[in-house]
Structure 1
Amino acid sequence: MSHVIAWSGAAEPIVTAKLLDIAVILGLLALIIVVARLAGAAVGKIGIPPVVGEIAAGVLLGPSLLGMELSGDLFPIEQRGFLEVLARVGLVLFMFVVGLELDISLVKGRGKVAGSVSVCSIVLPFSLGIGLAKVFVETDATAALKPDGVDFWPFALFMGAAMSITAFPVLARILTDRRMHRTETGGLALACAATDDIIAWTLLAVVLATSGIEGSHGHLPGWAIYLAIPFVLFAIFVVRPALTWLTSAYRKAGELTPTILSVVLVGMLLFAGATEVIGIHFIFGAFLFGAIIPHENAAALRHEILVRLEQIAVLLLLPVFFLISGLKVNIQGLGSEHILPLVAILAVAIVGKYVGAYVGARIQQVPHWQASSLGLLMNTRGLTELIILNVGLEKGLLSQELFTLMVIMALVTTVMTGPLLNFTYPQRRVARDIAEAERAALGDEAVDRILVLSRPGADNEVPLEVAVAMLAGAQPAEIVIADLQPQGRLLDLGSGLSGELAEMAEAMERQQVLVRRGEEVGVPVRVIAHPSADVEEDLAELVQVLAPQGVVAWSDDPSLDAVLAVVDCPATVVATGTERFPDSVPVSVAFTPDSNGDAAVVLGARLAVARQVALQLPAEGGRRLATIRAALEERGLRVTEPMTPDPDSGLTAAVIDVAAVDAVPTASLGARSEPDAVPVDFATVDLGATAAIGAE
């Protein structure tokens, strides 16, 4: 089978091939798919998005690992033209899928935060990218990174745009793999990435349109670029309403028929071709057509289209694109003079995106840890960055060396996201946030629950009062009293049960006092009391079954360490010998600047609210303590300084003293935060009714 193919690569001369060997092409496609799947599976096992492995596989099959000669033998240059065509078709399909998955409804309710994060995370890296381009051009050692014949501003604007991209599909995959899409942070990240996608692709289209670089089509004069705006308006206000026919036809047929799919494919190809002819790039047309496919009442239709097109694009055509890109990357061609430019590119890309997203989130009062997580997630570039870099290379806006450096940046920024997220958003916190989201979804069916580990011979009304305060008036709620006592020898019939029965009866009577006390304060109290062959193991299982929102235990409880090792909620440790607190005494908190210190202040404030007394906090404790005092006072608590000892007797007035667990050994109550806790926002944390608390 003979064909004549003219193929022009961005960094290769035009080559005319007299023979297209279909057997070679089929063999190469099989090799590409196998290597891509193996590489994706390998990196997926260590928590890296599979797409990173597939991109890396394309790079390794090129001259970066194999060298120019071996790479040329494995992928003959006369056969690459057909692979280039397949790669471009794959890009059209993929960009259509990206547009189809773009869900504007993600932004609803999060518009301000999403807009702020997206704008800041684009403006800062875009500006830094332009600045870096200027440094490259004005420095003799890096001046060659700018292609010859390209003016400064087209080069600089493209560098800025390339630094500003977030890969929405890769980010969504990371969130799904970590189950973060079910959390508030994950939903916010998707909303920000969706907004970022719209702004960034629009920005890139404008950069290419104004770059003055002539497109490869040569069909229309330069002024045709101004047809882009009318074309977008035509797509939104004319084509999009007409596409509602797809939804009606799908409902009528009950499935995705060949006719419906043909209409989608034809529209996708025509839109891609139209934007290429206008002078932007075919990827924008494919993305635009996917974005205007109806979303209202069309979830099943869009899902079936995705299933049909995504598999062929992801499994076959995109790996070909990775290979074609990898053939243009030559890491072996880099020298020591490229180390500093690579470091500068990484610094601008990572810092610009992270700081921009972080600042944008903090402007909208997003907590520090959540803003930091958004900054890391928005750094995900992956496949989307690779697409843009190929466009820049094709348009002559990137040199071969700079293209290689930018591909390395795309891989590094994507690989780093998962490991760094383990610090800002650990899996244990993800699981806790998912549980909170599920509880919120249950609405009135969700029950706030505090587990109290009682002790025989102790005044268990103290931990009961603490448990009531920890609930902060939540409804519905319950307190579970666990009174598991070590089981002695196995009892035989007639072996003297009177003593055992007497102990059980005494325990039940002891717990009934707590049940009645719970009824008085309006909180149901449930008792779990029975002998246990292994108290620690049974309590650990009980914690997992109950999933409490808090735990209260005595400091001398033998099971305390075992329980604290498995709970994922705040805990309060009551000092041995603590008796019922006198009425009207204030609550005094010994503040420490850590998560347990925050937990101590929350517990102290809730006790002060429940008992209608003042809260004592130290006068000195840095900016954090000053912020806490101001927030609590704003909410109506009377916050005072701890009382000084009497100069004659050295005694101080009675208080309920609270501290971080193990921070003050003499404290009556020790507070421990949940594992991987985030800083408490004292302006919003639940405290109960806070009007005029502690007023004199």
Structure 2
Amino acid sequence: MTAEQVATLLLALGCVIALARLFGAAAKRIGQPPVIGEIVAGIAVGPSLFGAGLGDALFPTDIRPALAALANVGLVLFMFIVGYEIDPATLRGRGRAAVSVALGSTLLPLGLGVALAFWLAGRHDVRNVAAFVLFLGAAMAVTAMPVLARILADRGMVRTTVGAMALAAGAVGDIVAWSLLAFVVAMASASGVVPWHLVLIVPYLVVMFLLVRPALRRLAKEKLTPDVLALVLVGLLLSCWCAEWLGVHAIFGAFLFGAVMPRDRPALRHEILGRLEQVSVLLLLPCFFVIAGLRVDLSALGGGGLVELAAILLVAITGKVAGAYAGARLHGMDRRRSGALATLMNTRGLTELVILTVGLQLGILDTRMFSMMVVMALVTTAMAGPVLAVIYPAGQVEADRMAAERDALGAPTAFRVLVEVPPGEHAASVVREATRLARERAPAAVVVLNRLVPYPSPPEVSTGLTGELLAMTAALTELAELAAPIRDAGLTAHVTAHFTTDPIGDLAHQISAAAPDLVVTAGSRTDWPKGVRHVTVKAIEARDGEAVKASGDDTMKR
């Protein structure tokens, strides 16, 4: 690059960041995920609104290859993050229901998309009809997990039945859809690679799961140092190179590498994703939005294009919503919650844009088809918030959270102990004291280990729920370990955790909703509701590790 091109590129990158932050903030102000605004920013500089003049002035043709290169790196990091965020733990206790919802929300839009694609193929210059048909069907079937997770966090739905089911079904559905897309991409690009490369896809998968995954587990025992992060990045890039060499797109190599990363060290996982998200979301993904937006030209659709767009929207929305709704109803979920779950599964967002870009790069989609599918991705994502506000309002969300607390405490005839477990070294002593008190009522006692996890403001830079989900996973993992000795003692034990910005107020709500017979905490509050029997574990004696506790106004020592 010449000195002039370098200067132009740097100026263009400044414009990219400014546009992404400005449009993202505007979207957030009207209750939409910031990614909606960032995608719109990319379209705004393209030919759709102001013709080619604005885009050519801000992003001259000679620097676009450099922008495209940065955009591809952004895609690789984003897909690694998506793969790393998929957590098999979300399926715990929800396997069949989650699979049912995932299959419903995948197979129905896939089938309808395939049927629509046959009609659209005759209206577009499609060279490989089979690849076009399968690609469009798979593109209809994808759910944007990062956007779905962000909506759940913003609406306080993470710990509701609907939220947990959406995360679990989204994880299963994404694995199915991405696997199908990898096959379609391999088929579409088979003419450009050596045929026997495709045969090596299976050995590649075997190596990733049987050799790379165990090696990464050993790596996860280390602290996150620059060397460890460098090794992760090298492994990521090698996986992307292998995927590209085998005839599937590099993004599938990134997704697979994220999927095989170990998840038994939540803190390390949070650090890795946090560092990568900063550069990805602030710089690289905005470059991707601009490159994609420059390819979107809505001004050239015409009347026939509007008919096609309407058909695409009808199939996309109907397939996802009806499929997910049917899957939820099949497993006994009521109409309101089934509708909310179906609305969440209909979000597509940035994930859809990634898929469409791959289709455009491989020549599966033409520019007009790409433009209409981008509009579909925006509409299906933007509609989620307003629809949820109607069919699953905040009051219903709060009622479901309280119902979950009551269910966790078990039958009202049992002696129910709610333990507010603090983080840190005092947790074991608080649980030990609660277990001692519960054993006096055994076997008719239920112990619930609860933690209110401080919920920060939604992160300014994030693709999804990275920090929140990892914090919740860490809390539930610790509580599960603390619950094991209680169960060994012959008692019933449950664990529950949810986010809070008002620990005192939320604990009071929990007590009011669940009405436990005894509350055990490590706090020092004095404003206990009347009629609530409570025990406060105050300190730990250094010599024998026994607890000194205060019950009501009385102080007791053991």
Same fold (TM over 0.5): yes
Question: Which residue of the partner structure matches residue 133 of structure 2?
Answer: 156
Structure-2-length-normalised TM-score: 0.73
CA drift of 1:101 comes to 0.7
Q: Which stretch of the first structure deviates more once superposed, 438-447 or 260-269?
A: 438-447
1:453-509 Cα offsets, whole Å, 9 max, x none, are xxxxxxxxxxxxxxxxxxxxx999xxxxxxxxxxxxxxxxxxxxxxxxxxxxxxxxx
CA drift of 1:322 comes to 0.4
Q: Is the 8 A contact 2:45 2:54 kept in 1?
A: no
Q: Is the 8 A contact 1:154 1:212 kept in 2?
A: no
Whole-Å Cα distance in 2 between the matches of residues 393 and 544 of structure 1?
52
Q: Is the 8 A contact 1:129 1:163 kept in 2?
A: yes
Whole-Å Cα distance in 1 between the matches of residues 305 and 180 of structure 2?
28
Q: 2:250 aligned to 282, 293, 300, which one?
A: 282
Q: Is the 8 A contact 2:405 2:514 kept in 1?
A: no
Whole-Å Cα distance in 2 between the matches of residues 214 and 412 of structure 1?
35
The 1:107–1:63 alpha-carbon spacing in structure 2 relative to 1, beyond 3 Å, is same
Whole-Å Cα distance in 2 between the matches of residues 299 and 545 of structure 1?
27
Q: Is the 8 A contact 2:5 2:62 kept in 1?
A: no
Consecutive unaligned residues in structure 2, runs of 5 or more: 411-415, 420-443, 447-507, 516-558
CA drift of 1:107 comes to 0.8
Question: Which residue of the partner structure matches residue 673 of structure 1?
Answer: none
Q: 1:249 aligned to 208, 219, 222, which one?
A: 222
CA drift of 1:66 comes to 2.2
Whole-Å Cα distance in 2 between the matches of residues 132 and 291 of structure 1?
32
Q: Is the 8 A contact 2:405 2:510 kept in 1?
A: no
Question: Which residue of the partner structure matches residue 120 of structure 1?
Answer: 104
- The 3-state SS of whatever aligns with 2:110 is helix
Q: How does 1:438-517 map to 2 (within 5 A)?
A: 438-439=405-406, 444-445=416-417
Q: How does 1:50-65 map to 2 (within 5 A)?
A: 50-65=34-49
1:551-604 Cα offsets, whole Å, 9 max, x none, are xxxxxxxxxxxxxxxxxxxxxxxxxxxxxxxxxxxxxxxxxxxxxxxxxxxxxx
Question: Which residue of the partner structure matches residue 104 of structure 1?
Answer: 88
The 1:428–1:243 alpha-carbon spacing in structure 2 relative to 1, beyond 3 Å, is same
CA drift of 1:437 comes to 3.3
Q: 1:367 aligned to 334, 344, 350, which one?
A: 334
Q: 1:310 aligned to 277, 282, 294, which one?
A: 277
Question: Which residue of the partner structure matches residue 372 of structure 2?
Answer: 405
1:588-633 Cα offsets, whole Å, 9 max, x none, are xxxxxxxxxxxxxxxxxxxxxxxxxxxxxxxxxxxxxxxxxxxxxx
Q: Is the 8 A contact 1:55 1:322 kept in 2?
A: yes
Let me know the Cα RMSD of the aligned residues. 2.2
Q: Is the 8 A contact 1:439 1:446 kept in 2?
A: no
Whole-Å Cα distance in 2 between the matches of residues 38 and 137 of structure 1?
38
Question: Which residue of the partner structure matches residue 232 of structure 1?
Answer: 205
Q: Percent identity?
A: 49
Whole-Å Cα distance in 2 between the matches of residues 77 and 546 of structure 1?
63
CA drift of 1:213 comes to 5.1
The alignment status of 1:188 with 2:161, answered yes or no, reads: no
Whole-Å Cα distance in 2 between the matches of residues 247 and 475 of structure 1?
39
The alignment status of 1:27 with 2:11, answered yes or no, reads: yes
Whole-Å Cα distance in 2 between the matches of residues 155 and 33 of structure 1?
34
Whole-Å Cα distance in 1 between the matches of residues 194 and 509 of structure 2?
70
Question: Which residue of the partner structure matches residue 300 of structure 1?
Answer: 267
- The 3-state SS of whatever aligns with 2:263 is coil
Whole-Å Cα distance in 2 between the matches of residues 202 and 545 of structure 1?
42
Question: Which residue of the partner structure matches residue 90 of structure 1?
Answer: 74
Question: Which residue of the partner structure matches residue 377 of structure 1?
Answer: 344
Whole-Å Cα distance in 2 between the matches of residues 423 and 59 of structure 1?
29
CA drift of 1:548 comes to 6.0
Whole-Å Cα distance in 2 between the matches of residues 235 and 545 of structure 1?
44
Whole-Å Cα distance in 2 between the matches of residues 20 and 283 of structure 1?
32
Q: How does 1:328-347 map to 2 (within 5 A)?
A: 328-347=295-314
More helix by share: 2
1:237-289 Cα offsets, whole Å, 9 max, x none, are 11101111212222xxxxx1011101100000000111011100000001111
Quick one: which amino acid aligns to residue 194 of structure 2?
Answer: P
Whole-Å Cα distance in 2 between the matches of residues 370 and 178 of structure 1?
14
The alignment status of 1:354 with 2:321, answered yes or no, reads: yes
Q: Is the 8 A contact 1:86 1:317 kept in 2?
A: yes
- The 3-state SS of whatever aligns with 2:51 is helix
Q: How many residues end up aligned between the 2 structures?
A: 425
Q: Is the 8 A contact 1:52 1:411 kept in 2?
A: yes
Whole-Å Cα distance in 1 between the matches of residues 229 and 207 of structure 2?
22
- The 3-state SS of whatever aligns with 1:267 is helix
Quick one: which amino acid aligns to residue 382 of structure 1?
Answer: G
Quick one: which amino acid aligns to residue 249 of structure 1?
Answer: E
Q: Is the 8 A contact 1:358 1:372 kept in 2?
A: yes
Whole-Å Cα distance in 1 between the matches of residues 255 and 511 of structure 2?
48
Quick one: which amino acid aligns to residue 111 of structure 1?
Answer: G
Whole-Å Cα distance in 2 between the matches of residues 549 and 275 of structure 1?
51
Q: Is the 8 A contact 2:188 2:362 kept in 1?
A: no
Whole-Å Cα distance in 2 between the matches of residues 420 and 348 of structure 1?
18
Larger radius of gyration: 1
Whole-Å Cα distance in 2 between the matches of residues 213 and 419 of structure 1?
43
The alignment status of 1:392 with 2:359, answered yes or no, reads: yes
Q: 2:383 aligned to 409, 416, 419, which one?
A: 416
